[in-house]
């Protein structure tokens, strides 16, 4: 099989440490940690298989103007292709990726640092979901890291109609890093681990055994087996590298005006089963959609029916919650009764059944439209009884 030649050059793409915008847009994902990183495009000798990883420069040897990489920044025609796409017809999408990375990047970065994992793995989440914790694919993968239900459950995530922790950006990140760590131990390569994340670890292992005689390789083995991978997986690492190049040096690609979202920050409070998030919002003085966004894993807009649960609230609002929650809970108990939505129900039918109006139901439950989920609990206003 003809092997793809891995190109290299002396150009650089990465965090310009004197560029505040670069650091901000990349979500503060460790740009300042120069030591132990790989800088500039990497050269690889396919004859010897020598990796420059063992020759990583010290912090003193690295110019502050150079970019920081802790995975090889390998050139490939598909990397160039995706850089072109992200900066032209997919520019709008990539702008949103960068904005959302400001929200979730610092959390992911901290978890990577705690485990001693490469910071560049953050771009796997970027290409998986566009940094969107509610993303859902045609293959039934969900969340920031696009777990299918079976794999998510294997790595400790609860997946039910009420609670889907694939959509929890924090817990799903822990699960994804566990999975990647396992595959790195198996393949001795983060890029092969990424390929396994996309197409399945057993397929990558089989291809590696057939091509090299061993499952274990290095960061350059990905391109050595490139032609054997499924089409989607052949683009996977090039997508990661393309996303990294742009995110690390946004001003080079015309993204310097992107304003990243504020970093995810929250506190947690315990509440009763079937507690509507709208009630929590009332207690902390926030809009319901803000509490919903902090808790995308609570699929019915309320806590699970069978147990108490922790709900995330905006940072700095815990005191307000503790002061206001007893009164809010009592008022809602006195002012409304509960109704569990059944199959075939509509807001109009429920309103007519309880002698109230659709608008009153919307207001009581802070609904923006007419869509309701089977199994959700609605509060019926006291004026209906």
How do residues 187-219 score in pLDDT, each as one tens digit?
999 999 999 999 999 999 999 999 999 999 999
Classify residue 208: in a domain, yes or no. yes
* 174 shares a domain with 246: yes
- Residue 265 confidence (pLDDT): 97
* 272 shares a domain with 247: no
Classify residue 14: in a domain, yes or no. no
What proportion of the chain, given as a percentage, has pLDDT over 90?
Answer: 64
Q: Which domain holds residue 279?
A: 266-384
Q: pTM of the prediction?
A: 0.75
Q: Last residue of a domain, which of 253, 278, 313?
A: 253
User: For 259-286, how does the pLDDT look when each residue is reduced to its tens digit (9 = 90+)?
Assistant: 999 999 999 999 998 888 999 999 999 9
- Residue 334 confidence (pLDDT): 61
Classify residue 222: in a domain, yes or no. yes
- Residue 184 confidence (pLDDT): 98
User: For 13-43, how does the pLDDT look when each residue is reduced to its tens digit (9 = 90+)?
Assistant: 322 222 333 334 443 333 323 223 333 344 3
* 302 shares a domain with 248: no
CATH of the domain at 358: 3.10.350.10
Model confidence at 4: pLDDT above 70 = no
- Residue 378 confidence (pLDDT): 87
Q: What is the mean pLDDT of residues 133-160?
A: 97
* 43 shares a domain with 159: yes
Q: What is the mean pLDDT of residues 313-340?
A: 86
3-state secondary structure the chain: CCCCCCECCCCCCCCCCCCHHHHHHCCCCCCCCCCCCECCECCCECCCCECHHHHCCCHHHCCCCCCCECCCECECHHHHHHHHHHCCCCHHHHHHHHHHHHHHHHHHHHHHHHHCCCHHHHHHHHHHHCCCCCCECCCCCECCCCECHHHHHHCCCCECCCEEHHHCHHHHHHHHHHHHHHHHHHHCCHHHHHHHHHHCHHHHHHHHHHHHCCCCCCCCHHHHCHHHCCHHHHCHHHHHHHHHHHHHCHHHHCCCCCCCCCCCCEEEEEECCCCEHHHHHHHHCCCHHHHHHHCCCECCCECCCCCCEEEEEECCCHHHHHHHHHHHHHHHHHHEEEEECCCCCCHHHHHHHCCCCHHHHHHHHCCCCCCCCCCCEEEEEHHHC
7-11, 179-183, 281-285, range with the lowest pLDDT = 7-11
User: For 225-250, how does the pLDDT look when each residue is reduced to its tens digit (9 = 90+)?
Assistant: 999 999 999 999 999 999 999 999 99
pLDDT band at 54; cut points 50, 70, 90: very low
pLDDT band at 55; cut points 50, 70, 90: very low
Q: Say which residue, 234 or 353, is predicted with more confidence.
A: 234
- Residue 382 confidence (pLDDT): 57
- Residue 115 confidence (pLDDT): 98
CATH of the domain at 174: 1.10.530.10
* 280 shares a domain with 245: no
* 343 shares a domain with 203: no
Model confidence at 10: pLDDT above 70 = no
- Residue 38 confidence (pLDDT): 34
- Residue 302 confidence (pLDDT): 87
- Residue 34 confidence (pLDDT): 25
Q: How many domains does the chain have?
A: 2
* 282 shares a domain with 217: no
* 272 shares a domain with 229: no
Q: In whole numbers, what is the pLDDT of the chain averaged over residues? A: 83
Classify residue 11: in a domain, yes or no. no
Classify residue 3: in a domain, yes or no. no
Model confidence at 329: pLDDT above 60 = yes
- Residue 273 confidence (pLDDT): 86
User: For 62-108, how does the pLDDT look when each residue is reduced to its tens digit (9 = 90+)?
Assistant: 334 556 999 999 999 999 999 999 999 999 999 999 999 999 999 99
């Amino acid at each position: 099989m003809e092997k793809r030649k891995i190109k290299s050059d002396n150009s650089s793409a990465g965090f310009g440490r004197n560029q505040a915008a670069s650091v901000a847009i990349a979500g503060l994902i460790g740009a300042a940690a120069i030591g132990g990183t790989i800088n500039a495009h990497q050269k690889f000798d396919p004859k010897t298989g020598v990796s420059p990883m063992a020759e990583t420069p010290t912090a003193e040897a690295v110019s502050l103007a150079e970019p920081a990489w802790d995975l090889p920044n390998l050139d490939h025609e598909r990397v160039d292709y995706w850089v072109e796409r992200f900066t032209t017809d997919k520019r709008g999408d990539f702008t949103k990726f960068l904005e959302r990375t400001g929200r979730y990047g610092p959390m992911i970065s901290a978890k990577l640092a705690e485990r001693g994992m490469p910071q560049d793995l953050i771009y796997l989440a970027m290409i998986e979901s566009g940094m969107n914790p509610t993303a859902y694919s045609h293959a039934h993968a969900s969340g920031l890291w696009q777990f299918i239900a079976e794999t998510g459950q294997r790595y400790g995530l609860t997946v039910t109609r009420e609670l889907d922790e694939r959509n929890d950006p924090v817990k799903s990140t822990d699960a994804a890093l566990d999975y990647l760590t396992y595959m790195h131990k198996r393949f001795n390569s983060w890029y092969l681990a990424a390929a396994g994340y996309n197409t399945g670890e057993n397929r990558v292992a089989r291809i590696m055994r057939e091509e090299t005689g061993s499952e274990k390789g290095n960061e350059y083995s990905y391109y050595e087996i490139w032609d054997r991978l499924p089409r989607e997986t052949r683009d996977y690492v090039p997508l990661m590298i393309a996303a990294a190049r742009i995110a690390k040096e946004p001003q080079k690609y015309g993204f310097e005006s992107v304003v990243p979202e504020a970093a995810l920050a929250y506190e947690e409070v315990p509440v009763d089963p079937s507690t509507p998030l709208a009630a929590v919002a009332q207690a902390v003085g926030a809009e319901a959609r803000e509490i919903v966004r902090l808790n995308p894993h609570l699929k019915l807009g309320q806590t699970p029916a069978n147990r108490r649960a922790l709900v995330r609230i905006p940072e700095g609002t815990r005191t307000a919650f503790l002061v206001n929650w007893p009164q809010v809970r009592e008022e809602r108990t006195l002012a409304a009764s509960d109704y569990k939505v059944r199959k075939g129900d509509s807001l109009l039918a429920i309103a007519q059944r309880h002698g109230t109006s659709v608008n009153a139901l919307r207001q009581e439950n802070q609904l923006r439209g007419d869509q309701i989920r089977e199994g959700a609990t609605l509060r019926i206003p006291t004026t209906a009884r």
